Structure 1
Amino acid sequence: MIRVLFVCTANICRSPMAEGIFRHLVAQAKLSHQIETDSAAISPMRIGEPPDARSQRTMLKRGIDIADLRSREVRRDDFLRFDYLLAMDRTNQAYLRSLCPRGQEHKLFMMLEFAPSIGVAEVPDPYAGGEEGFELVYRALDIAARNLLAHIRQQHRLAPDEPPTDGKTEP
């Protein structure tokens, strides 16, 4: 099982959107039994809350429901549990680095490392703005999530789950 954790400040905008997009792509690729997703916050201020309503609306426009997600705070043991920890911005990355146990640094990435064509390093925080900011974030995260999945498939040689067969071929 490959485990992927998306991290932002409060875990109500960017990281649940990233998790939702990635989880959707994983399901489409029939890799849900091989890849697990989660998201977390560097701040405890919104623990237990669902994603921001604007995040949910942006995702629902694409047929992705993230209403089941709840904010949680990132923990030191997440570095032992997860294979990939993806920070949305440099502040998130710095916090994760301060929490990271020695020998686990290779698991830490910036989300937009997987979207170099965008030309920016950080996913902007849309919280203080309007709906258009959430649309912009969605587009950036979608590109990065697709490239992240391709990277994971290649690195771990993952193939889609095949339906069980009884050894017979269909006509």
Structure 2
Amino acid sequence: MTKLLFVCTANICRSPMALVVAQKMARDLGVGRKLQIDSAGTHAPSPAQRTDPRAIAALERRGYSAKRQRSSRIASSHFTDADLVLAMDNQNMAALQKICPAEHAHKLRLLLSFASECDRTEVPDPYHSNAQAFDLVLDLCEAAIGALLRHYTL
């Protein structure tokens, strides 16, 4: 079983959105049972917070079944357990590189490194923006995760 971990800053917008997209795409490709998918944040708040309602709304507008999850902070066990740790942006990547044990550094990747047709390298944080910013996050997640799943499962 391949274990994927999506990581953003607070684990309330981008990484929970990526998790939902990946779960659905994996099911649609018939590989859902081959993957374990989770999300975390480099600076997830304590106490845990629910997924941003704007993220839920954006997912539901696209036909995803989105559940309100609770945020969680990246832990050392994530690096041991995951096969691939996917950062949403360079700031998340830098935070991960600071805390990741050297023997697991090869697992760190930017999510958009899988979206070769995309002209961006980072999934922007939509938190301080509008509904269109959440739609852009979904566009980028769908492109990258589709390519990621094809790469790892076909």
TM range (shorter): over 0.9
Whole-angstrom distance in 2 between the partners of 1:47 and 1:8 = 17
Cα distance between partner residues in 2 of 1:112 and 1:128: 21
Aligned amino acid, residue 125 of structure 2: D
**1:80 counterpart residue number:** 80
User: Could you say which residue in structure 2 is the equivalent of 1:150?
Assistant: 150
Q: Give the aligned residue type for 1:87.
A: A
Could you tell me how far 1:30 is from its partner in structure 2?
1.9
Distance in structure 2 (CA, Å) of the matches to 1:49 and 1:98 = 24
The alpha-carbon distance between structure 1 residues 47 and 40, as it changes in their structure 2 partners (threshold 3 A), is farther
Supply the distance in 2 between the matched residues of 1:137 and 1:77 (Cα, whole angstroms). Answer: 27
State the shift of 1:57 in Å.
0.5
Amino acid at match of 1:137: V
Whose helix fraction is larger, Structure 1's or Structure 2's?
Answer: 2
**Secondary structure of the corresponding residue to residue 122 of structure 1:** coil
1:42 corresponds in structure 2 to 42
In the other structure, the counterpart of 1:129 is 129
Partner of 1:93: 93
Match of 1:16 in 2: 16
SS of the counterpart of 1:124? Answer: coil
Matched, 1:56 2:38: no
Q: Percent identity?
A: 35
Higher deviation after alignment, 64-73 or 30-39 = 64-73
- Measured after TM superposition, the shift of residue 46 of structure 1 is 5.6
The runs of 5 or more residues in structure 2 that have no matched partner are none
1:22-37 paired onto structure 2 within 5 Å: 22-37=22-37
Aligned pair in 2 of structure 1 residues 136, 46: CA closer, same or farther (>3 Å)?
A: farther
CA contact (8 A) 1:48 1:70 kept: yes
CA distance in 2, matches of 1:112, 1:142: 10
Structure-2 residue corresponding to 1:71: 71
Match in the other structure for 2:7: 7
C-alpha root-mean-square deviation of aligned residues, in Å?
1.2
TM score, norm. by length of structure 1: 0.86
Distance in 2 between residues matched to 1:121 and 1:44, nearest whole Å: 23
Letter in 2 for 1:54: R
Q: TM-score, normalised by structure 2?
A: 0.95
> Which has the greater radius of gyration?
1
Check the 8 A contact 2:45/2:71 in 1, yes or no: no
Structure 1 residue 66: Cα displacement: 2.4
1:16 to 1:83, Cα distance in 2 relative to 1, 3 A: same
Shift, 1:47, TM fit: 4.8
1:113 maps to 2:120:
no
Give the Cα separation in 2 of the matches to 1:143 and 1:6: 15
